[in-house]
Amino acid sequence: MNIQELIGQDLERLYAVKIPASSVQIQKTKKEFKGHLTLVVFPLLKISRKNPEQTAQEIGEYLMQHQPSVAAFNVIKGFLNLTVAPAYWISVLNDIACDTSFGTKQATAGSPLVMIEYSSPNTNKPLHLGHIRNNLLGYSISEILKANGNRVVKTNIVNDRGIHICKSMLAWKRWGNGETPESTARKGDHLIGDYYVKFDQEYKKEISTLQASGLTKEEAEKRSPLMAEAREMLRRWEAGDQETVSLWKTMNSWVYAGFDQTYKALGVDFDQIYYESNTYLEGKEKVLEGLKKGIFYQQEDGSVWADLTADGLDEKLLLRADGTSVYMTQDIGTAKLRFDDYPIDKMVYVVGNEQNYHFQVLSLLLDKLGFEFGKGLVHFSYGMVELPEGKMKSREGTVVDADDLMDEMVQTAKAVSGELGKLDACSEEEADEISRIVGMGALKYFILKVDPRKNMVFNPKESIDFNGNTGPFIQYAYARIQSVLRKSAGCGHPSVASDVIPNEKEVTLIQLLSEFPSVVQEAAESFSPAIIANYVYELVKEYNQFYHDYSILKEENEAVKQLRLVLSDNVGKVIKTGFGLLGIRVPERM
């Protein structure tokens, strides 16, 4: 039983009434005050019928007499600061040591089923830095929700159709000369991305030529033969033209093979993948059904719209005049298929904040179409990621390629680790593996430690640092702990004797460890891996100070040595679990 439950029982005995758990509010004592835990007495004033100071004093005196876990107390206004007895902290540490899945819960057959969509790439370009943040957030949120006892389905929707796909197809058809990933020795997604950039370059040339002939920019864009050809290709694709569909399948297969390599290197996966080429027809069907029911309306040119002005929004295009669908139509179809396939309790879309309006509209449209899940969908809206040099643009070829960035991170990790002598005792194979773990850990941690709702600047040089709030700093602390534990082999450190008195630094560490389950819960409730990342950093900072101030293996008192080994072992356990929820590996040696 935790101390909050123990104090709750004591309060019920003191006042002889049933006290709701929500009224027993215990928090960590602020550093400027003496104590470990603070009981907020304001919710208890109606029961005590006394002022805050009198209530706190009364409760403190009662706990001193009746609760062995409380060693001392002091009152600051309406707050009762409690000093917890050493024996309680030892029992907490032993409980943590016995719990192999400490901080996490297992899902059961009746647990809520949450579907999380992330990645959502286009098949006209390779994954880039923005996709990295999306994938890392989606994967980590999935793992965090699992750790809170949810059943989770990780899903991806591949944008494999549309005018942007036709741009790459048309450019390859015009200027590709039949080249393939094999003939060029390039990953398929990179090859197709080159042609997306090529289309934009040729399109801009065409617009410039048309403007030079006296047309305005808007007129030039409307009369662009290249864009007209791309639109015609999309129309032929939707009409099922055999040649167009065959080219589309071939080029998409190149991209999928490239994506698979990138996902594997990034360490993310999916339980179910949907393709917009399959879902858009479902969406069109639902839109036409909505048109018949009068939910939507049709303009003279044949396009179908939703009027959302009564909901405080504007009018939204759902089907173009030529009958082709838009993203919103596809999302309606995808949502329908997903809820047909799974009994989903909650649907979470991990999509950047530039799409806030899109998901506001999607929620309304699904609700109007009669889908019960419409109003309940969650758009996990995260901020954009940029480099110190500024924003990236796919069509101009100025994005940071995900594959290149990951390779650079691993190579930089190897160089930095080598300079610091951290790979001296390793074989070449071990050095490569550790460099991969450290490089990817640096990348993932730097991105995930930031509040996901904020825009961020990713600085590769800052991320690979063995000091400060970085992945390598935490990974090195874990490796150091494993080294200590290896050297203690034979000593045995399963539990701590109950009569050992921990010093204040050890108590601070035990208290920090005890907070891990609530940290995991908070991270799930707020969809924020940053909460776990920064908790693990604080834990490591405290441990490093403890490691610096106190001897472990050379401690002469065997009981104290045992305490420090058990404490070290469980700090390592929580680091590994916490980093696992972020999708980050930890090296056993460095």
CATH number for the domain harbouring residue 135: 3.40.50.620
**Is residue 528 in some structural domain?**
yes
The CATH number that applies at residue 550 is 1.10.730.10
Same domain, 72 and 124: no
Which residue range is the domain that position 554 belongs to? 441-581
From residue 460, how far is each of 407, 446, 453, 472 by CA, in Å? 12, 9, 21, 13
- CA geometry: angle at 354 spanning 349 and 356, to 5°? 55
Residue 346 is assigned to a structural domain of this protein: yes
How many domains in the chain?
Answer: 3
367: number of Cβ within 10 Å:
16
Helix or strand or coil: residue 432? Answer: helix
What is the spatial distance between Cα 459 and Cα 450, in angstroms, rounded to a whole number? 13
**Is the four-CA dihedral 556, 560, 566, 568 of positive or negative sign?**
negative
Arithmetic mean of pLDDT over the chain: 93
Distance CA 5, CA 12 (A): 11
pLDDT digits (tens, 9 = 90+) for 400-416: 889 999 999 999 999 98
- Which positions ≥6 away from 61 have C-beta within 8 Å? none
Q: What is the pLDDT of residue 493?
A: 62
69/134 same-domain check: no
Q: With cut-offs at 50, 70 and 90, classify the pLDDT of residue 390.
A: low
- pLDDT tens per residue, range 39-62: 999 999 999 999 999 999 999 999
**Are residue 257 and residue 215 in the same domain, yes or no?**
yes
* Token pair of 291 as six digits: 């048109």
Q: Which residues pair with 157 in a beta bridge?
A: 274
State the pLDDT confidence band at 392, using cuts at 50, 70 and 90: very low
Would you place residue 491 in the very low, low, confident or very high pLDDT band (cuts 50, 70, 90)? low
Residue 36 has pLDDT above 60, yes or no: yes
Residue type, 391: K
37 sits in which H/E element? strand 37-40
Rg (CA), the chain: 29
Euclidean distance between CA atoms 444 and 585, whole angstroms: 10
Write b or e for each residue in 457-466: b if 16 or more Cβ atoms lie within 10 A of its Cβ, otherwise e: ebebeebbeb
pLDDT over 90, % of the chain? 84
Tokens representing residue 370 in the block: 């009669």
Q: How confident is the model at residue 325 (pLDDT cuts 50, 70, 90)?
A: confident
- Phi/psi for 214 (5° steps) reads 110, 0
pLDDT-derived band at 397, boundaries 50, 70, 90 = very low
Last residue of a domain, one of 63, 84, 105: 84
Asked if residue 196 and residue 273 are part of one domain, the reply reads yes
Question: Phi first, then psi: what are they for 274, rounded to 5°?
Answer: -110, 155
* pLDDT tier for residue 77 given thresholds of 50, 70 and 90: confident
Domain assignment of residue 414, yes or no: no
Q: Which of 28, 30, 11, 7 is nearest to 19 (CA)?
A: 11
**CATH code: domain of residue 64:** 3.30.1360.70
Contact 466, 472 (CB under 8 A): yes
Q: Could you tell me if 268 and 336 lie in one domain? A: yes
pLDDT at 492: 59
Tell me if 215 is assigned to some domain.
yes
Q: Is residue 111 part of a domain?
A: no
**Distance separating alpha carbons of residues 577 and 166, to the nearest angstrom:** 44
Asked whether residue 474 carries a pLDDT value surpassing 80, the answer given is yes
Report the half-sphere exposure of 72 (CA within 13 A, side-chain side): 7
**491 and 562 assigned to the same domain:** yes
141 and 230, same domain (yes or no): yes
Cβ count near 149 (within 10 Å): 15
Q: Is the pLDDT of residue 490 over 80?
A: no
Answer yes or no: is 150 within a domain.
yes
Q: Does residue 431 lie within any of the structural domains?
A: no
Same domain, 190 and 339: yes
The C-alpha atoms of residue 46 and residue 49 are separated, in whole angstroms, by 5
Which residues lie across from 387 on neighbouring strands?
390
Residues 375, 511, single domain; the answer is no
Residues 74 and 123 in one domain: no
Name, in order, each residue with C-beta under 8 angstroms of 494's C-beta and a sequence gap of 6 or more.
97, 566
Same domain for 563 and 519? yes
Residue pLDDT, tens place only, 173-232: 999 999 999 999 999 999 999 999 999 999 999 999 999 999 999 999 999 999 999 999
Q: Using alpha carbons, select from 448, 471, 449, 461 the residue that is nearest to residue 409.
A: 461
Nearest Cα to Cα of residue 402 among 467, 447, 464: 447
Q: What is the mean pLDDT of residues 108-131?
A: 93
Average pLDDT over every residue of 265-290: 94
DSSP states of 260-287: HHHHHHHT---SEEEEHHHHHHHHHHHH
pLDDT at 579: 98
Locate 350 and state its tokens: 């991990």
315-319 and 25-28 strand pairing? unpaired
pTM value is 0.91
Last residue of a domain, one of 320, 352, 386: 386
Confidence (pLDDT) at 96? 96
pLDDT band at 462 (very low <50, low <70, confident <90, very high): confident
Residue that terminates a domain, selected from 346, 362, 386:
386
Is residue 63 over pLDDT 60? yes
Contacts of 215 (CB under 8 A, 6+ apart): 223
313 and 374 in a common domain: yes
Name the CA dihedral angle for 443, 448, 450, 454, rounded to a multiple of 10 degrees: 110
The per-residue pLDDT for range 354-379, each reduced to its tens digit, is 999 999 999 999 999 988 888 889 99
**Structural contact between residues 12 and 56, judged by C-beta atoms closer than 8 angstroms:** no
Q: pLDDT tens, 543-575?
A: 999 999 999 999 999 999 999 999 999 999 999
pLDDT of residue 78: 85
For 98-129, the three-class secondary structure string (H helix, E strand, C coil) is HCCCCCCECCCCCCCEEEEECCCCECCCCCEH
Cα separation values, 223 from 201, 321, 334, 395, 417, Å? 17, 18, 34, 20, 57
Asked, for residue 209, whether it belongs to a domain, the answer is: yes
HSE of 407 in the Cβ direction (CA atoms, 13 Å)? 8
Answer whether residue 1 shows pLDDT above 90.
no
151: helix, coil or strand? strand
How far apart are the C-alpha atoms of 512 and 536, rounded to whole Å? Answer: 10
